[in-house]
């Protein structure tokens, strides 16, 4: 059971706010009865919903976890004709969009969906969904450097900050670091290291919220379970 305004939004009829207005105006009916109560819930599999007398059909919502490989972009079309992540998915999934991005040289966990509300909750800074990265770099990374990441640094006029940071392994010539971020600004992980004149050799996103990359192979995908979707959209 879902709220009527969410059903309308999921079906692509209107945004939640516009759907609420439709309900208040008496334009929406459930099983032939006009509904004006915003708290009304409907069962997409059983109830018949109409707007202005026209039947509204529930959209088949798709939630996908993909292990993005290096060497592809997160756009549907690329000016340089590089491979895209959408070429890794079934052709009939034309309505899905990536939830955030990973750049061409980065790899790891990324979600795709046709549920706009789901995408918003995972990308808007106010929800602070945590994302974890494993980063291999050239040179030595010090504890003091990671402390500066956690306090926040300014780079190109923007404050960048890691919620947590730890050294997984390291020598004077190379290091592996795990970072956790809460906002996901453009190229934030790479820019943190660029600010310290350190070159990133490999960048992999290993976790979003409580969902881990796990054993998913590069270029492969799986659909998220109902439990995983609920975990990502509640208690944020």
> Catalytic positions, please?
103
Distances from the Cα of 207 to the Cα of 47, 111, 150, angstroms: 37, 11, 19
Cα separation, 67 vs 57, in Å, equals 32
Structure token digits, residue 195: 């600010």
3-state helix, strand, coil in the chain (%, to 5): 25, 30, 45
- Facing residues of 186 across strands? none
Cα separation, 85 vs 98, in Å, equals 9
Structure token digits, residue 155: 């780079």
For the chain, list the strands marked E by DSSP. 2-3, 28-30, 33-34, 41-42, 49-51, 54-56, 63-68, 97-99, 107-113, 131-138, 153-155, 158-160, 164-170, 174-181, 200-208, 211-212, 221-223
């Amino acid at each position: 059971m879902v709220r009527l305004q969410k059903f309308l939004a999921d079906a692509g009829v209107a945004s939640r706010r516009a759907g609420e207005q439709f309900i208040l105006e008496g334009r929406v009916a459930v099983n032939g009865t006009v509904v004006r109560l915003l708290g009304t819930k409907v069962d997409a599999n059983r109830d018949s919903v109409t707007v202005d007398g026209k039947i509204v059909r529930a959209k088949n919502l798709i939630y996908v976890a993909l292990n993005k490989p290096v060497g592809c972009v997160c756009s549907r079309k690329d000016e340089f004709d590089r491979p895209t992540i959408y070429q890794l998915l079934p052709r009939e999934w034309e309505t899905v969009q990536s939830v955030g991005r990973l750049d061409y040289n980065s790899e790891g966990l990324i979600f795709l969906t046709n549920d706009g509300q789901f995408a918003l909750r995972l990308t808007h800074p106010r929800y602070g969904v945590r994302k974890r990265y494993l980063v291999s770099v050239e040179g030595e990374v010090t504890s003091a450097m990671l402390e500066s990441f956690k306090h926040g640094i300014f780079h190109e006029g923007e404050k960048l900050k890691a919620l947590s940071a730890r050294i997984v392994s390291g020598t004077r010539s190379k290091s592996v670091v795990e970072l956790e971020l809460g906002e996901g600004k453009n190229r934030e992980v790479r820019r943190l290291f660029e600010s310290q004149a350190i070159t990133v050799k490999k960048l992999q996103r290993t976790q979003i919220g409580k969902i881990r990359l796990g054993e998913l192979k590069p270029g492969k995908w799986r659909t998220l379970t109902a439990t995983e979707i609920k975990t990502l959209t509640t208690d944020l």
